[in-house]
């Protein structure tokens, strides 16, 4: 299927190098995951974006918790049908991983569709309040060099729970849940062969007994590289969250299209 790489307009197109064998030279480069350096350390929990009541929140893949506001975004029951919204050049048909490991689909093809599909699966699987589940997912999807990924993901789930007024450990109150639903994507080519960063525009839906169900829009980067025959999630300490926040928009809107977002087709 024809596929053209598209940048968001703030990074130069480095070409379709991520399909080539990966070489590590000089300082190890990991594409953006959304972990942000905060004062003396890395906040493995939530990456919160400051916003006005009408602006969606950005979040990290390690912990997809957006900043709540009094004006939450409603999830449309169906995609808009305005001309040009659902048939934009660059829309991508998702592919399915060939294997299932601990409930996570893996073994995607080394193609743009494979990378985007892997990132969407990883993002959705990370949407949970359960630290043990999140750690288990981390063991499956993280690159080998990210030795403490499982611990960081578990800490992220605990931070999410605290953020929403839930106990950080132990059983969740009945009916509590967190889910992430990727809607659109952008590919940002890397100068390092074998690497690619995929940005996702997603709905974050959180339910608690106290607040009920709320929804918001988040932008999450998934840094991927090809390792041992599959796409793996890479850790990043250079993520430009401020730039990601500039890409916030309601999925499928004209603004989203103008910012370079393209549809994920099942």
Given this model, what pLDDT does residue 63 score?
A: 53
Instruction: For 47-97, write each residue's pLDDT tens digit.
Output: 323 233 333 444 455 555 443 333 344 444 443 332 322 223 468 999 999
Domain ranges of the chain: 1-11+98-266
> Strands across the sheet with 230-233, in order?
92-93, 262-265, 177-189, 195-208, 212-227, 230-233
Say if CB 45 and CB 62 are below 8 A apart.
yes
Residue 14 scores a pLDDT above 50: no
200 strand-pairing partners: 185, 220
Instruction: For 145-193, write each residue's pLDDT tens digit.
Output: 999 999 999 999 999 999 999 999 999 999 999 999 999 999 987 777 8
Top-level CATH class of 1-11+98-266? alpha beta
* Residue 202 binned pLDDT confidence (cut-offs 50, 70, 90): very high
Instruction: For 103-122, write each residue's pLDDT tens digit.
Output: 999 999 999 999 999 999 99
Given this model, what pLDDT does residue 194 score?
A: 84
User: What gap in Å lies between CA 227 and CA 59, rounded to an integer?
Assistant: 26
Instruction: For 34-56, write each residue's pLDDT tens digit.
Output: 222 222 222 233 332 323 333 34
Given this model, what pLDDT does residue 240 score?
A: 84
Q: What is the pTM of this model?
A: 0.72
DSSP 104: E
206 strand-pairing partners: 178, 214
Q: What is the secondary structure of 197-248 as a DSSP string?
A: EEEEEEEEEEEETTTEEEEEEEEEEEEEEEETTEEEE---S---HHHHHTT-
């Amino acid at each position: 299927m024809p596929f053209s790489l598209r940048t968001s307009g703030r990074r130069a197109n480095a070409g379709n190098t991520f399909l080539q064998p990966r070489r590590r030279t000089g300082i190890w480069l990991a594409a953006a995951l959304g972990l942000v350096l905060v004062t003396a350390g890395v906040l493995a929990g939530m990456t919160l974006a400051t916003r006005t009541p009408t602006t969606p929140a950005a979040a990290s893949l390690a912990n997809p918790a957006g900043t709540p506001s009094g004006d939450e975004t409603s999830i449309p029951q169906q995609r808009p049908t305005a001309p040009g919204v659902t048939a934009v050049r660059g829309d991508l048909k998702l592919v399915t991983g060939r294997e299932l490991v601990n409930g996570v689909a893996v073994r995607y093809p080394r193609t743009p569709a494979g990378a985007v599909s892997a990132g969407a699966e990883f993002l959705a699987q990370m949407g949970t309040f359960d630290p043990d589940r999140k750690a288990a997912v981390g063991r499956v999807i993280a690159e080998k060099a990210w030795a403490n990924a499982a611990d960081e993901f578990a800490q992220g789930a605990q931070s999410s729970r605290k953020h929403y007024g839930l106990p950080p450990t132990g059983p969740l109150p009945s009916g509590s849940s967190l889910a992430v639903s990727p809607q659109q994507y952008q590919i940002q080519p890397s100068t390092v062969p074998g690497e690619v960063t995929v940005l996702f525009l997603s709905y974050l839906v959180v339910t608690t007994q106290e607040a009920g169900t709320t929804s918001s829009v988040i932008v999450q980067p998934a840094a991927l590289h090809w390792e041992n025959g599959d796409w793996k999630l890479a850790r990043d300490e250079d993520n430009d969250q401020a730039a990601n926040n500039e890409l916030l928009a309601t999925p499928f809107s004209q603004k989203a299209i103008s910012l370079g977002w393209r549809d994920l087709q099942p």
